[in-house]
Amino acid sequence: MFSKVLKWACRVLLGLVLICAITYGVFSFLFHRHLDKSYAVTVRDIPIPGDSATIAAGKHLYEIRGCGECHGADLRGRLIVDDPGLGRIAGTNLTYGKGGLSADFDNKAWLRALRHGLNAENKTLLLMPSQEFARMDDRDIAAIIAFCKAQPEVDTPNIPTKMGPVGKVLAVLGKIDLFPAELIDHAQQQPAMVVKAPTADYGRYLSASCTGCHKPGLTGGDNPVPGGPPVANITSTGHVGKWSKDEFITALRTGNTPEGKQLQAKDMPWTMTARYTDEELIALYLYLKTL
Ligand code: HEC
Ligand code: HEC
């Protein structure tokens, strides 16, 4: 009797292991289908000026668009995710030093990465939030590229990407935005120049950097980083709706909110928003008030 029960328990256990293995196999297959998809895009070439005013504008954009959070302040690259379940993903060394961009990474390659989320083989990059940069105007995108190309070479060890099983499953289920090329309208034409002014219109343009966490409608929700706190609603129906312009500026520069909360920079990157100019923060404030 006892050995019969044991036999059945073993069979059930084996069955479960088999089901798990098959399920993981299916997810792994689907994951690679996303990775292997090739995109036929026409990268529109634009001039990249190299003057010092453009490079200075590019430095500011590099900081406020969050490039440094993943590629490092000096562009040397950074390990962003390192977890046995999620995987290991590093922001590329964006200089032309060892472990960085190859010598043939030209302006078109920069534009392909930033506006289309694609690598040299026209396949999607991983985790690089190009969907937030795809609509930036020609002047801004050219300034960022000019700044990056003007930085000194840094040598770093190359950290190959390795996705873990949990990371693959979350990406296939669409719980993390891992495949930027899938989130971009590749046929869109970006404006040559948006007007920079303290207006809601300019605020909408800037808010692309907030949508990755606060969601496209900026109403917040689940944190895109597994285990992170819920992301706040920053439309007029949330706390921001009750804040004055000055309170908003203080909150985004110090992390202190009028409700007495200290936002943690690792959850809400206020060290990045602290670098926005007054004009940029006012524009964001005015835009959020319209939502
Ligand atoms: C959330 C993190 C994150 C942010 C923010 C980010 N990147 Fe990336 N970026 C990555 C990762 C990860 C890769 C490597 C992707 C890969 O190898 O598939 C990458 C790759 C790149 C590449 C190399 C593409 C290639 O073909 O090798 C360029 C160029 C680049 N990023 C530029 C930028 C610039 C400029 C900004 C800011 C406007 C920026 N990135 C912001 C994570 C980020
Ligand atoms: C990396 C993810 C991330 C990005 C990018 C991000 N936020 Fe946040 N933000 C959060 C999280 C998470 C919270 C909630 C933190 C908490 O509750 O401790 C938050 C909270 C806030 C708050 C406080 C809201 C409240 O009710 O107290 C404001 C205001 C805010 N974010 C504005 C912005 C703006 C504006 C941008 C774009 C320029 C932005 N955030 C970009 C993750 C992000």
pLDDT at residue 176, rounded to an integer: 85
Question: Beta strand pairing status for 162-163 and 87-91?
Answer: antiparallel
Q: How far apart are CA 33 and CA 28, in angstroms?
A: 9
Atom of ligand 1 nearest to the CA of 89: 12
Torsion sign over Cα 185, 188, 193, 194: negative
Q: 67 C-alpha vs ligand 2 centroid, how far in Å?
A: 17
Is ligand 2 within 6 A of the CB of residue 214? Answer: yes
pLDDT at residue 22, rounded to an integer: 87
Contacts of 168 (CB under 8 A, 6+ apart): 27, 28, 31, 87
Q: Whose CA is nearest to atom 23 of ligand 2?
A: 232
pLDDT at residue 2, rounded to an integer: 73
Q: 221 C-alpha vs ligand 2 centroid, how far in Å?
A: 11
Atom of ligand 2 nearest to the CA of 212: 5
Is ligand 1 within 6 A of the CB of residue 119? Answer: yes
Is ligand 1 within 6 A of the CB of residue 133? Answer: yes
**Could you tell which of 60, 70, 96 is best to mutate to test the pocket of ligand 1, judged by most ligand atoms within 8 Å of the CB?**
70
Q: Whose CA is nearest to atom 43 of ligand 2?
A: 268
Between the alpha carbon of residue 172 and those of residues 60, 124, 214, 231, 232, the distances in Å are 35, 14, 21, 22, 25
Is ligand 1 within 6 A of the CB of residue 247? Answer: no
Q: 145 C-alpha vs ligand 1 centroid, how far in Å?
A: 12
Atom of ligand 1 nearest to the CA of 66: 5
pLDDT at residue 4, rounded to an integer: 87
Is ligand 1 within 6 A of the CB of residue 276? Answer: no
Q: Whose CA is nearest to atom 10 of ligand 2?
A: 268
Q: How far apart are CA 69 and CA 147, in angstroms?
A: 16
pLDDT at residue 65, rounded to an integer: 95
pLDDT truncated to tens, each residue of the chain (291 aa)?
678 888 989 999 999 999 888 888 888 888 899 999 999 999 999 999 999 999 999 999 999 999 999 999 999 999 999 999 999 999 999 999 999 999 999 999 999 999 999 999 999 999 999 999 999 999 999 999 999 999 999 999 988 889 999 899 989 988 888 999 999 999 999 999 999 999 999 999 999 999 989 998 999 998 888 788 999 999 999 999 999 999 999 999 999 999 999 999 989 999 999 999 999 999 999 999 999
What are the DSSP E strand ranges found in the chain? 78-83, 87-91, 162-163
Give the ligand with the smallest distance to the CA of 58: 1
Give the ligand with the smallest distance to the CA of 237: 2
**Could you tell which of 131, 215, 234, 285 is best to mutate to test the pocket of ligand 2, judged by most ligand atoms within 8 Å of the CB?**
234
pLDDT at residue 28, rounded to an integer: 86
